[in-house]
């Protein structure tokens, strides 16, 4: 079976012997190839063939001119030979003028083999590609990316794992978004092409954990033979990739649960040193020495913490700091670590980066994020993580700040509230203040205003628009109802907090 062989296809072939276009038309194509050692040995009838010479050309410019001329006069459409990159501008201009494509090739016999593959031995081409895929699988891969890199390097073309949204992982080049847009996700094998020669030969990935994935090889200017060989290669590589996705997921779950456990143990110690925990942290590359900035991302509704973690770790690489994260409860806890204390400006830019991360997370997950303050050492790590947890809790109810709160920007009172806003304090406060509910709650309002105004009758009256006597009689009544000594600072604080929690 023969077909027309395009220059683009030959240039895109991974084993083309170092082929480069030196001069002449870039869109040349041939249906036959003539291979000889010198120009004199070439068949007289060029018939629009590609001539491959194994011997280098003569080195005088006029002889190179004459070589180009004679080759073209005999009807050849292209001339590939070693050392063609040494051709001067005159010879190149002549080739352009005569319409003869001049190709430089480092190893002419390799080019000859590539031509044979592409023109006459498509099955051999497919077999060779499949053999290369098999070789790639044989090598140990650290993960999916590593496997894709192996495949791409061995086959010699770019490889990409895509879903309908975009590229999930790729190696050996960059898949043009225009080509991705042309992919049909329904069929088993799909060949996507764009007008400018971009091609993506993909197959559906049968993965139990992820739907709608496709794996394929891509390239520019590929010929029909190459594309069909690459489609076969994708089919052969697909099961390995699907298995790898599964293995990686199991490993991820395992890893996340282990690291989550380590973090839990560390937090339980409240920053106190403990040899075993420290060793386990070090094994994960977590250092307690240095400066830390904690953050916590939690779901405002039910979510898969592992997926969130995968997303977060993917994005953390964009932040220029040593970062760690793991699942914890219904969210993700993490921190940035620095050997030297970062300047306030740096801290601001890091927090802004964390905000970007939060915004990115919110596109896929309903989350709230809290960020702690910069702290140092083992205790500091505990502190900043704890602050982040508190801030995240506050952020849960803060739509005004986009569900993002940093501890430095938090009022102490808010923090206190966040602290007291738990299951034990709220009922206690409610029962404490229950007697004041009589009479439409005016007593509670007056008490809250009174405490807010430092137990001053006059300011309270002014704030509420009441007469001073009214205020003082109401406070008296409160004292009677609650039976609490309002001069005791402890009691006053508890009462003040209870007011806030109940009124909130």
Longest dimension (CA), the chain: 122
Residue 98 touching other proteins (CB under 8 A): yes
- 493 by DSSP, 3-state: which? helix
Residue 93 touching other proteins (CB under 8 A): yes
- Please give the size of the binding site for other proteins, defined by CB under 8 A: 21
Q: Among 4, 70, 107, 287, which residue interacts with other proteins (rule: CB under 8 A)? A: 70
In the bound state with other proteins, the residue whose beta carbon lies nearer, of 97 and 174, is: 97
CB environment 358-393: b (16+ within 10 A), e (fewer):
beebbeebebbbbbbbbbbebebbbbbbbbbbbbbb
In the bound state with other proteins, the residue whose beta carbon lies nearer, of 25 and 377, is: 25
Please report how close the Cβ of residue 68 comes to other proteins at its closest, in angstroms.
5
Q: Among 89, 301, 345, 424, which residue interacts with other proteins (rule: CB under 8 A)? A: 89
Please give the structure tokens belonging to residue 195.
Answer: 């007008």
Pairing of strands 101-104, 20-23: antiparallel
* Binding mask of the shown chain, residues 26 to 65, with x at each position contacting other proteins by CB under 8 A: --------------------------------xxxxxx-x
CA distance 51 to 62: 20
Please report how close the Cβ of residue 20 comes to other proteins at its closest, in angstroms.
21
Residue 94 touching other proteins (CB under 8 A): yes
Please report how close the Cβ of residue 61 comes to other proteins at its closest, in angstroms.
4
The DSSP output letter for 341 is P
In the bound state with other proteins, the residue whose beta carbon lies nearer, of 95 and 443, is: 95
Q: Which stretch binds other proteins (CB under 8 A): 67-75, 140-148, 324-332, 367-375?
A: 67-75
Please give the structure tokens belonging to residue 33.
Answer: 């190839």
Residue 99 touching other proteins (CB under 8 A): no
Residue 68 touching other proteins (CB under 8 A): yes
CA distance 83 to 104: 6
Please report how close the Cβ of residue 102 comes to other proteins at its closest, in angstroms.
12
CA distance 342 to 469: 57
Q: Using alpha carbons, list the distances in angstroms from residue 131 to 127, 151, 232, 243, 351.
A: 6, 11, 11, 19, 50
CA distance 186 to 105: 41
Residue 25 touching other proteins (CB under 8 A): no
DSSP state letters, 44-91: S--TTPEEEESSPPPSSHHHHHHHHHHHHHTT-SEEEETTGGG--HHH
In the bound state with other proteins, the residue whose beta carbon lies nearer, of 57 and 223, is: 57
Residue 340 touching other proteins (CB under 8 A): no
Please report how close the Cβ of residue 161 comes to other proteins at its closest, in angstroms.
50
Q: Among 20, 69, 362, 398, which residue interacts with other proteins (rule: CB under 8 A)? A: 69
In the bound state with other proteins, the residue whose beta carbon lies nearer, of 4 and 69, is: 69
Please give the structure tokens belonging to residue 433.
Answer: 């203040």
CA distance 438 to 179: 71
List contacts with other proteins (CB under 8 A): 58-63, 65-70, 72, 88-91, 93-94, 97-98
């Amino acid at each position: 079976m023969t077909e027309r062989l395009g220059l683009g296809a030959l240039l895109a072939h991974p084993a083309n012997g170092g082929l480069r276009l030196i001069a002449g038309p870039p869109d040349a194509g041939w249906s036959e190839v003539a291979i000889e050692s010198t120009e004199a040995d070439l068949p007289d009838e060029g018939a629009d063939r590609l001539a491959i010479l194994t011997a280098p050309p003569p080195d005088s410019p006029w002889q190179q001119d004459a070589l180009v001329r004679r080759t073209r006069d005999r009807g050849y459409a292209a001339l590939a030979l070693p050392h063609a990159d040494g051709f001067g501008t005159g010879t190149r201009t002549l080739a352009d003028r005569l319409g003869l494509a001049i190709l430089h090739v480092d190893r002419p016999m390799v080019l000859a083999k590539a031509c044979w593959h592409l023109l006459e031995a498509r099955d051999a081409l497919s077999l060779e590609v499949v053999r290369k895929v098999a070789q790639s699988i044989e090598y140990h891969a650290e993960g999916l990316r590593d496997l894709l890199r192996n495949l791409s390097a061995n086959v010699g073309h770019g490889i990409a794992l895509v879903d309908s949204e975009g590229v999930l992982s790729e190696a050996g080049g960059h898949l043009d978004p225009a080509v991705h847009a042309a992919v049909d996700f329904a069929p088993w094998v799909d060949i996507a092409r764009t007008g400018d020669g971009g091609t993506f030969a993909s197959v559906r990935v049968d993965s139990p954990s992820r739907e709608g994935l496709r794996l394929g090889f891509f390239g520019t200017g590929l010929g029909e033979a190459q594309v069909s060989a690459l489609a076969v290669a994708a089919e052969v590589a697909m099961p390995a990739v699907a298995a790898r996705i599964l293995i990686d997921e199991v490993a991820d779950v395992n890893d996340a649960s282990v690291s989550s456990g380590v973090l839990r143990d560390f937090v339980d110690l409240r920053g106190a040193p403990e040899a075993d925990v420290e060793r386990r942290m070090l094994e994960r590359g977590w250092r307690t020495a240095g400066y830390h900035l904690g953050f916590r991302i939690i779901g405002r509704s039910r979510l898969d913490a592992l997926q969130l973690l995968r997303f977060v770790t993917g994005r953390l690489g964009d932040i220029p700091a040593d970062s760690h994260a793991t699942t914890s409860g219904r969210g993700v806890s993490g921190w940035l670590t620095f050997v030297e204390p970062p300047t306030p400006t740096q801290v601001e830019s890091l927090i802004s980066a964390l905000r970007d991360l939060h915004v990115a997370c919110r596109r896929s997950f309903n989350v709230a994020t809290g960020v702690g303050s910069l702290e140092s050492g083992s205790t500091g790590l505990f502190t900043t993580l704890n602050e982040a947890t508190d801030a995240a809790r506050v952020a849960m109810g803060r739509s005004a700040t986009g569900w993002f709160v940093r501890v430095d920007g938090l009022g102490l009172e808010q923090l206190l509230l966040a602290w007291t806003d738990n299951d034990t304090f709220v009922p206690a406060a409610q029962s404490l203040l229950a007697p004041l509910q009589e009479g439409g709650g005016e007593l509670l309002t007056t008490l809250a205003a009174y405490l807010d105004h430092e137990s001053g009758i006059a300011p309270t009256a002014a704030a509420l628009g009441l007469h001073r006597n009214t205020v003082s009689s109401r406070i008296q009544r409160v004292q009677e109802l609650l039976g609490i000594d309002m001069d005791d600072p402890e009691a006053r604080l508890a009462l003040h907090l209870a007011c806030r929690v109940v009124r909130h």
